[in-house]
Amino acid sequence: MAIRFTKMHGSGNDFVVIDSRDGALALDVAVIRAMADRHTGIGFDQLLSVEPARDGSSAFYYGIWNGDGSPSGQCGNGVRCVAAWLHRAGALPLGETVRIQSPSGPVAVRMLDAHQVTVDMGEPIFDPARIPFDAPHVTNRYVLDVDGQPVEIGAVSMGNPHAVVVEDAVSSKAMARLGPALTAHPRFREGANAGFVQKLSRQHLRLFVHERGAGWTQACGTGACAAMAVLRHRGEVDERVQVDLPGGSLHIEWSGPGQTLWMTGPAAFVFEGEWLDPQRDD
């Protein structure tokens, strides 16, 4: 079984995009993991499928799987790559706003040029039950027990769950321990993406993200949205913020509750290929 794919990245968060416009993509977890392997496979943080819309008001649907084969509800850098992929396929004209559906609901994408995409990511969700996060009521700060130590976080969903640690300086040693611990913390029953954000100013953030299902990443689009949303909810940043991640910068705009959040950033093509499943000879 040969699978044609396009390798792409958004600020270093890398993807395999599969054209599945003729029907929903169904791949075994073992195949996704084999493809994601950075030594014996293609290597990627997430696999994305471009599929026919599943509702009447969207143009397309995209599926998201992490490198460990687990599904996700949203992928900020990924949706920009899907938009650029659709643009290259002639299905998304420059400047036009098009609604596409993710597993967690619709988003609206607009190509600013062939490599820059702006996305209406919807409204950040702070209600713990909808994240899902185990807490009796919504608040700006929660304290988690991590190996007997208190760790303060903000919790939000951008269509996928995020724990956000706001620190002036988090040592790389502390992040190496806390990233995996927060990702697997039992109060996030579906796991979480763990972001460590440093406030450089009211318009400028620095962020590192340990992703559920993919580990440390060069960039996490929803992580950047989540970090901005948590800080804006606390009144600590302005409504337009630049978020610097190891692989590049994203621009996030959110005026506050009741409004949707916008993310703008790059999408890049790397190569086209054909996956030859080593377990099969056909």
Ligand X SMILES: N[C@@H](CCC[C@H](N)C(=O)O)C(=O)O
Residue 71 or 277 with smaller CB distance to ligand X: 71
Residue 244 or 277 with smaller CB distance to ligand X: 244
DSSP string, 88-155: HTTSS-TT-EEEEEETTEEEEEEEEETTEEEEE----B--GGGTT---SS--S-EEEEETTEEEEEEE
Cα(95)–Cα(74) distance, integer angstroms: 23
Site string for ligand X, 36-65 (x = CB under 6 A): ---------xx-------------------
Under rule CB under 6 A, which residues in 220-239 are in contact with ligand X? 220-222
Q: Which of 166, 220, 228, 245 is catalytic?
A: 220
Q: Is 101 in the site for ligand X (CB under 6 A)?
A: no
Tell me if 13 is assigned to a ligand binding site. yes
Cα(211)–Cα(216) distance, integer angstroms: 6
Under rule CB under 6 A, which residues in 135-174 are in contact with ligand X? 160
Tell me if 77 is assigned to a ligand binding site. yes
Known catalytic membership, residue 225: no
Q: Which of 3, 42, 75, 107 is catalytic?
A: 75
Tell me how far CA of residue 80 lies from CA of 41, 135, 166, in angstroms.
Answer: 24, 32, 26
Known catalytic membership, residue 75: yes
Cα(187)–Cα(174) distance, integer angstroms: 20
Tell me if 140 is assigned to a ligand binding site. no
Annotated binding site for substrate: 13, 46, 66, 76-77, 160, 193, 211-212, 221-222
